[in-house]
Chain A
């Protein structure tokens, strides 16, 4: 994988102790990091916590980061771990909590109220890991191997989780399809 020159330069400066360079890395990667965290913890506030914790851990481990590798991939693993830690401390989400968490500013509120309720209900029935895998793969575009590294599971397990999660979602939301 080719590392963009801008990212490599920022990573090298940040390793040398340049705070502004680290802020540049934050600007480059915070959105993606947020989406990774949100796929795992679902709730916005938890995702923000995981992102902040992930960047702090990355900053503290900068001396161990290999600047020939992708900072984004390394960061995403750290953020995923932070999100998993937060998820372990939380109780299982109820459908209501998920429904509150899954809000979109881009839809008609009335229409979306129905959709988000159905979606939240369906997602709540998936195991947490399966939910994360489906979002990380189908929405974020990570490969099975990348997801496996982030979640600490073999790539084959991520693939099989994805298959089962999709099957279940299809059944639960079949009247919304097409």
Chain B
């Protein structure tokens, strides 16, 4: 059962460039199906439907269900990777800055010693001034 059991042949206006019937007929015969019987077409139909059913089963497997999400998932993963890369870079820059500032702001041991020496001198001077004041009164 088909509406296309036979060759249609060229349609439309007459073709002046046509090969003509002897040659066209020869080519037509050559391209006829090898087995042109109802049994052959029924068999082909069965094979096609068997493959279609297999394809349907493949489609319904869980990874096929997930397949449409694969692209969205990939894009999301790439976005997350890009954002975490930026954050890492910022954190790394901030650590470097902090380390730099720590180095700059840390007093040198010599400066500590001078400060300690100065404060000792100040304390001695204050003590002498206080003693002098008490004795004078």
Q: Are A35 and B22 in contact (CB under 8 A)?
A: no
Q: Are A102 and B30 in contact (CB under 8 A)?
A: yes
Q: How far is the CB of B68 from chain A (nearest CB, A)?
A: 12
Q: Which residues of A contact B32 (CB under 8 A)?
A: 104-106
Q: Are B24 and A103 in contact (CB under 8 A)?
A: no
Kindly report which residue of chain B lies nearest to residue A177, judged by CB atoms. B22
- Is A153 an interface residue when CB atoms closer than 8 A count as contact? no
Chain A, range 90-132, C-beta contacts under 8 Å to B: 102-107, 112, 115-116, 119, 123
Q: Are A135 and B7 in contact (CB under 8 A)?
A: no
Q: Are A176 and B30 in contact (CB under 8 A)?
A: no
Interface locus among B40-48, B86-94, B102-110:
B40-48
Q: Once bound together, how far apart are the Cα atoms of A139 and B25, in whole Å?
A: 8
Q: How far is the CB of B5 from chain A (nearest CB, A)?
A: 6
Chain A binding site: helix, strand, loop or mixed by DSSP? helix
- A139-B7 contact, Cβ under 8 Å, with A60-B59, A166-B19, A169-B19: yes
- A35-B31 contact, Cβ under 8 Å, with A26-B49, A28-B2, A52-B47: yes
- Is A31 an interface residue when CB atoms closer than 8 A count as contact? yes
A-B pairs with CB below 8 Å: how many? 132
Q: Which residues of B contact A105 (CB under 8 A)?
A: 32, 34-36
- Is A143 an interface residue when CB atoms closer than 8 A count as contact? yes
Q: How far is the CB of B11 from chain A (nearest CB, A)?
A: 5
- Is B137 an interface residue when CB atoms closer than 8 A count as contact? no
Chain A interfacial positions (CB closer than 8 Å to B): 4, 19, 22-23, 26-32, 34-35, 38-39, 44, 48, 51-52, 55-56, 59-60, 72, 102-107, 112, 115-116, 119, 123, 134-135, 137-141, 143, 162-163, 166, 169-170, 173, 176-178
